Amino acid sequence: MIEYKEKIIPEAFHGTSIDNAENIIANGFIIKNRIDPYLGNGVYFYEACREHAIDYVENRYHLSHAEIAVICARIDLGRCLELNNSKHVEWLKLTWKLLSEQGIDPITDAVVINFFIETFSENVDTVRASQLYSSSNRQKIFTGSRFFSSQRIVICVRNLKSIQDCTLCNMGDKDNE
């Protein structure tokens, strides 16, 4: 159902604590069960913007810049459930309808995505979506623009072999390149 496409994302960023980052570099990523995984089960990256990974960790875990590390990775999207693809979105709409007819409650994005992948398309390597980070930050980048300043591209890696390599690119300093 989901075709394999060799598309490499050269810069994807994962924010975490310094201790976690050092463990990841030494031992690799581990997919953990989370309470509300936005795009389903997997390891999350922000495409092309290290600052988004830093902001996420700051806001979610309330860590200071000195406690934050960012891992930079190259990701092969492989078989990607692409939420910017209208056909893929339609599949998720049909999956949501099926779940709602079964009386599943609550039906979150993660529930729909995980059910779709586990039921209809087991071999999904990644899930990719554009996200408006916060409705309160929904501001256009300038008057007359069609773009919003808080838009981010998120990649959820389900198959850890899709992470081609990773390096520690930031420890404790948001302005350090």
- 43-58: b or e for each residue (b if 16 or more CB lie within 10 Å)? bbbbbeebebbbbbbb
Write down the pTM of the prediction: 0.89
- For the chain, give the mean pLDDT: 89
What backbone torsions phi and psi does residue 64 show, to the nearest 5 degrees? -85, 165
For residue 171, what are the β-bridge partners?
69
Mean pLDDT for the stretch of residues 78-94: 96
Cis peptide before 37 (omega within 30 of 0): no
Give the pLDDT confidence score for residue 162 in this predicted structure: 97
Residue in 4, 10, 47 with CA at minimum distance from that of residue 159: 4
Mean pLDDT in residue range 81-88:
95
What are the angstrom distances between the C-alpha of 81 and each of 117, 118, 140? 9, 13, 28
Answer yes or no: is pLDDT of 73 > 90: yes
